[in-house]
Structure 1
Amino acid sequence: KMNYPLCRPFCVSCFTCFYGCRRKCQNETTTKCECVWAVFLILIFALCVIWFYFYWAFQNDFEELNWFVFGMFKQWKDWSVPTLILAGVLLSYTFFLLILLLCHLAFQEPLRLHQIHKVLLIVTLFIIAIGILGINIKWKKEWGTIFLFLKVTAPAFHLGAVVVLTLLAWLVADRFFRARTKVLKVLVLGLYLCVMVGVYLIPLAIVCPCIMEEKDLGSKPNLTGHRGAPMLAPENTIMSFVQAMKCGVSVFETDVMVSKDGVPFLMHDETLHRTTDVKEMFGNRVSDHSSSFLWSELSDLNAGKWFLKTDPFGTVKSLSNDSNARAAQQKVVKLEELLNVARKENKKVLFDLRKPPACHPYSQTYVSVTVETILRTNISQDLILWLPNENRSEVMQMAPGFQQYYGEINDSRNESNMNFNLAYQNLSKISIMDNHKNHTEVNLYVVNEPWLFSMLWCIGVNSVTTNACHIFSEMKKPIILISPDNYRMIWIGTDCTSLVIIILAFLLLKRCNSSLERVWKELSLKNTGVNITLKQ
């Protein structure tokens, strides 16, 4: 405790006040219970880091959470910002406590975490546990997202781990030279060396798709507009598909239902509440199924004002006044209208066909009604990417030119020419190289984040369905692309620099401790001489 004669009183008063809520460190020792709480704090901090990491991985699919909340409360809001704030607050709080804990250890002060902090740490654990449990129950496929995100960010993780390991060298060296027994010295140094070797050799296990030569990079994936361009215009409206064309999409993706009088129209939700003004127009039918309305009723609804009001992607403020005015005037769209646009612009159309309720007049014939509507528009059949499984054999007879797409790999195991429309989490189930050899098309949905698009680009995916076509259309190359040789240089350079700093830290602290021991001995000798003189 004599190592910090000048700054000690002030520093101790600061960190003991915040950690244990007392003004100065009292004359006491650290109990086993407080040691357990210290370990618990480190564990909670690690969980907060993992949860914050999960947040960035889940950003691509935050619409799933928004949908879940909308299904419960019938109110559409973007929950990504509140979730980010919560994750940031928990991480900052536990990091602050961890710094105070390290200060206690560095100054050899007894630990005594205040009761308020203990309660807050338990609450933090409870919040994270609920989040992880919710993911495991409702969104198990998101574990696949985390795995993909880990593959992309593994090189950055290695660099971060090396930095943390290097910073901890000063604390480890201090504890090593203060250890009173050789066993404790060996334990401290041995554990640190094991961790150090493991961190330094992590790149041997890293398999990042974007560590490749630029000449080996395949062509950019084609873009499929998810309900058009929903970040720039109200989804499933003509304006949305026009904006998607400006982004250079090759395929329009949408959702089709059949009205009560047999008119196929574009609508994703089972009710009209979220994307239309049905509450104002038909207040007592807000909860009715979307397909239970006549087309004459659907055509009177406004399908754009909700977009300006709720701002589902936080992009409305970036749009021009003219775009906002046009968005406010959008209507529900017939499938026939979209097909006419696609025929004129030579764009392909991929859609989900929603089955109407059993009591619907077209509950048994909705597939044939949809196919007949498509054929009446005289659109080239090879522009239709047929996804619905219902009555597929009948559809193939009515329109043999439709390109057949499958939503599950097993659906087409007997087909010679297999085209897939899959969730990107199923990437591990398919072989991109084999698909290229067999001239098989694979479209992955829904891809909104540049890191995910970059990874799929590096892997060689044919096309992706996205809400962010305006962002991906501007990308000239993956945001993460580094040659193996350059990465090897960064890896070795980082490890060597870290090793030099660690050695310097041990040498410097060894010298400081030797000097302090010499000063201590001199003071002890002087005190001994003074005591002898006083006795005489």
Structure 2
Amino acid sequence: MHQVCSCWRGCIRGLYSCNWREPSRTNRKMPCCWLSFVAVVSLLSLSWLYICLISFNDQEELNGQLFTWLKSWFNWFMLIIIFSAVLTSYCILLLLFALTQIIFGEKLDLHWLHKIFLFFGAIFIVGGISVMVGMWKRVLPTIPLSLQATAPFLQFGAVAALTLISSFVFQAFHNIKTKSRFLILVLFAVVSAAIFLCPLLIQSPCFIELKDLPEKPKLIAHRGAPMLAPENTMMAFERSVTCGVMAFETDVQISKDRIPFLMHDNKSEFLLRTTNVKESFPTRSITSNLDLTFGEIQNLNAGEWFLKKDPFWSVSQLSEEERQTARNQTVLSLLQLLELAKQHNISVIFDLYQTEKTSTDSDDTAAIVDTIRKSDINPGLILWLPPDRRKWVKETAPGFVHIYSNLSEMKINNDRHLNVKYNKLSMKRIRELRADNITVNLWVVNERWLFSLLWCVGASSVTTNSCHLLKDVEQPDWFMSYQTYTKIWILVDAASVLIMAALFVLQWKAHCSCLRKGRQRGSTFSDTELPFLSQHMKP
């Protein structure tokens, strides 16, 4: 057993300091500072990984922005997630190795290579946060929003971590100089009080009784089912029909010969990401929807990119037959989508990317309305979102349901349908709007935790890329009454306090016992009797 323990100690020491044979005899400076640095970078990496994970819902937005800059598509967000997970695991393991060495009473001697890795890791995290603040500001409100879904569980985890590290704190308290021991105790007490009492500040719409739980939000298919088929293609919308969606969401542009078709990317990115336009027209500069007729656009392949790029890492879920179907997809016209919607009695909501109008005949809005009329679809299934010429549309096609992206504009027009990004409204505001019988659709919602949160608050519907996953969610991931949560919170805190009190008393008795033995021998403590902190980490 002693040999196994020595081997384990040697392994931990080697991984931390690259000194495999015997404990370090060098007197490296600032071991406490380097331990603090490891702890700080570990906390930063955990926080950064948390931000990345809750931002996973918006990975398409980040990848899209980078595509706009680079004109080449790659799943950069997934790469960031993987690197962040590796960095966090590395930092946490290093911190555990350091704490284990403290238990074994060995000197902390962080190897210079670890110092370099930690330094660059800290730079990566700070750089990532700076980029997010500067480039991806629309996602920042998701962070406080996510805490309404995760804060209760983060608090439980913090209490568990506090209980585990209390043993090391008490060890330091018992063995360092008298002048510093009470400072440690005060700091630990302040941190403990903050963690124990932070539930007083936690608010969440999921603190709700089962009888008060709102109806499940309806699903709107964002460009079809883009996780299972190439976006804005017939296959994508047909796959979304099986999810029981209430509406198709898409993006409409007008071709050179005035035919509305479905395509999200526009301007300099037009057709580049989702078609083979470069291979089909290698000598032409195509930067606008007016550069091609719909016949030329429809001859492009709109599915091969999906199989090659695998934007959501979901191609492996498709059968060989489904992959072949995806490979043969083409750009869809608005009329084709309306025919499909009419067949299944599904609504259609769309954004309109308009070109400059040179005459009344080239009015994109008029072309859209004419196409809708030509399809003979029930006007009540058209959820009209484009703000331009809304008054004219109301007069020309009075049966359309008008949806607004701006709350003030909706109130001015005395309508009751709102469509906004999920983090633009507070949970309280959404609940107030629903109480006033205003339908609130929130986009784009892909993750279960976010869908569950919006379900609890009473969202009418959500626009999603993952309708095939959210359709099977039978209830929010968690919900409970605030009284139930309060009881759990008090029990967890009380258990932690009792465990820490027991650890403090046991270590105090052990410390007193060592002092008595030392007095009886008339000698000072040896390195094996006195914990590491008292010998090597004195202030």
TM-score normalised per structure 1: 0.90
* Shift of residue 74, structure 1, vs aligned partner: 2.8
Task: Look up the match of 2:306.
Answer: 307
Q: 2: CA distance between counterparts of 1:430 and 1:487?
A: 20
CA distance in 2, matches of 1:482, 1:360: 59
- CA contact under 8 A between 2:256 and 2:289: conserved in structure 1? no
Matches within 5 A, 1:68-147: 68-106=65-103, 110-147=107-144
Distance across 1 between alignment mates of 2:219 and 2:163 = 43
Structure 1 residues 437 and 98 mapped into 2: Cα distance closer, same or farther (>3 Å)? Answer: closer
In the alignment, which residue of structure 2 is the partner of 1:512?
510
Residue 151 (structure 1) aligned with residue 148 (structure 2): yes
Query: Unpaired runs of 5+ in structure 1?
Result: 528-536
Which residue of structure 2 aligns with residue 255 of structure 1?
251
1:200–1:495: 8 Å Cα contact kept in structure 2? yes
Percent identity, please: 38
Distance of 2:6 and 2:512 partners within structure 1: 23
1:281 alignment counterpart: 280
Q: Find the residue that maps to 2:228 and give its secondary structure.
A: coil
Q: Distance in 1 between matches of 2:354 and 2:523?
A: 94
- Per the alignment, residue 449 of structure 2 pairs with 451
Q: CA contact under 8 A between 1:278 and 1:286: conserved in structure 2?
A: no
C-alpha distance in structure 2 between counterparts of 1:217 and 1:68, whole Å: 37
Residues 190-209 of structure 1 deviation map (CA, whole Å, 9 limit, x = unaligned)? 22222222211222211122
> Which letter does structure 1 place at the counterpart of 2:367?
V
Deviations 1:413-458 (A, max 9, x none): 4122232110111022872343234332211100000000000000
Give the conservation status (yes or no) of the 8 Å contact 1:447–1:465.
yes
* Alpha-carbon separation, structure 1, partners of 2:77 and 2:314: 14
Aligned equivalent of 1:196: 192
User: How many angstroms apart in 2 are the aligned matches of 1:359 and 1:216?
Assistant: 51
Cα distance, 1:36 vs structure 2: 3.7
The more displaced of 509-518 and 496-505 is 509-518
Counterpart of 1:326? 325
Equivalent residue, structure 1, for 2:479: 481
Aligned partners of 1:124, 1:362: CA distance in 2, in Å?
58
Return the alpha-carbon distance in structure 1 between the equivalents of residues 524 and 504 of structure 2: 30
Aligned to 1:221: 217
For residue 532 of structure 1, what is the aligned residue in structure 2?
none
* Aligned twin of 1:39: 36
Deviations 1:497-519 (A, max 9, x none): 21221111112212222222233
Residue 282 (structure 1) shift: 1.8
Residue 312 of structure 1: how far off its partner (Å): 1.3
CA–CA distance in structure 1, aligned partners of residues 7 and 256 of structure 2: 77
Q: Aligned-pair distance for 1:364?
A: 5.0
CA distance in structure 2 between the partners assigned to 1:311 and 1:360 by the alignment:
40
Contact 1:447 1:467 in 2 (8 A): yes
Mapped partners of 1:526, 1:18: distance in 2: 32
Q: 1:51-93: CA deviations, max 9, x gaps?
A: 0100111110011121123223333222343222211121122
State the match for 1:530 in structure 2.
Answer: none
Deviation at 1:128, TM superposition (A): 1.0
Distance in 1, matches of 2:394 and 2:427, equals: 27
1:151, 1:224 → 2: CA distance?
A: 24
Deviations 1:327-361 (A, max 9, x none): 222221110111112122211110000112x4888
How many Å separate the matches in 2 of 1:47 and 1:526? 40
Measure, in 2, the Cα distance between the counterparts of 1:259 and 1:468: 29
Q: Which residue of 1 aligns with 2:531?
A: none
**Contact residue 380 and residue 401 of structure 2 kept, 8 A:** yes
> Which sits farther off after the overlay, 333-342 or 506-515?
506-515
Alpha-carbon distance in structure 2 between the residues aligned to 1:127 and 1:216: 45
Q: Which residue of 2 aligns with 1:391?
A: 389
Mapped partners of 1:417, 1:474: distance in 2: 32
Inter-CA distance 525–354: structure 2 relative to 1 (3 Å threshold): closer
Conservation of the 8 A alpha-carbon contact between 1:176 and 1:189: yes
2-side partners of 1:256 and 1:219: how far apart? 31
Write out aligned runs for 1:364-443 (5 A).
364-428=362-426, 431-443=429-441
Query: What letter matches 2:224 in structure 1?
Result: G
Q: CA deviation at 1:473?
A: 0.6
The DSSP-based 3-state class of the residue aligned with 2:442 is strand
Q: Distance in 1 between matches of 2:523 and 2:42?
A: 46
Once the two structures are superposed, residues 6-40 of structure 1 have per-residue CA deviations (whole angstroms, 9 ceiling, x without a partner) of 99976765554443444544556564x55443333
Given the alignment of the two structures, is residue 63 of structure 1 paired with residue 60 of structure 2, yes or no? yes
Residue range with higher mean Cα deviation, 108-117 or 497-506: 108-117
How many pairs does the alignment contain?
520
Partner of residue 261, structure 2: 265
| Cα distance, 1:362–1:289 mapped onto 2, change above 3 Å | farther
**2:529 alignment counterpart:** none
CA contact (8 A) 1:447 1:453 kept: yes
CA–CA distance in structure 1, aligned partners of residues 487 and 164 of structure 2: 22
Whether the 8 Å contact between 1:60 and 1:448 is mirrored in structure 2 is yes
- Which residue does the alignment assign to 2:180? 184
Q: Over aligned residue pairs, what C-alpha RMSD do you find?
A: 2.6
Deviation at 1:379, TM superposition (A): 1.5
> Do the aligned residues in 2 keep the contact of 1:166 with 1:502 (CA within 8 Å)?
yes
**Closer, same or farther: CA 332–525 of 1 in aligned 2, 3 Å:** closer
Partner of 1:234: 230
Give distance in 1, aligned partners of 2:447 and 2:17. 43
TM-score of the pair, normalised by structure 2: 0.90
> 1-side partners of 2:427 and 2:485: how far apart?
28
Secondary structure of the residue that 1:268 maps to in structure 2?
coil
| 1:275 match: secondary structure | coil
Q: Is the 8 A contact 1:106 1:174 kept in 2?
A: no
* Correspondence for 2:315: 316
- Quick check: 1:302–1:331 contact (8 Å CA) kept in 2? yes
Preserved CA contact (<8 Å) 1:276 1:304: yes
Q: Deviations over 1:256-289 (max 9, x none)?
A: 0000000001111121122122223222236432
In structure 2, the partner of 1:210 is 206
What is the CA deviation profile of residues 273-322 of structure 1, one whole-angstrom value per residue up to 9, with x for unaligned ones?
22122223222236432342101111212222222222111111112222
Partners of 2:431 and 2:509 lie apart in 1 by 59
What is the deviation of 1:242? Answer: 1.3
Please name the residue that 1:499 is paired with.
Answer: 497
Moved more, 412-421 or 110-119: 110-119
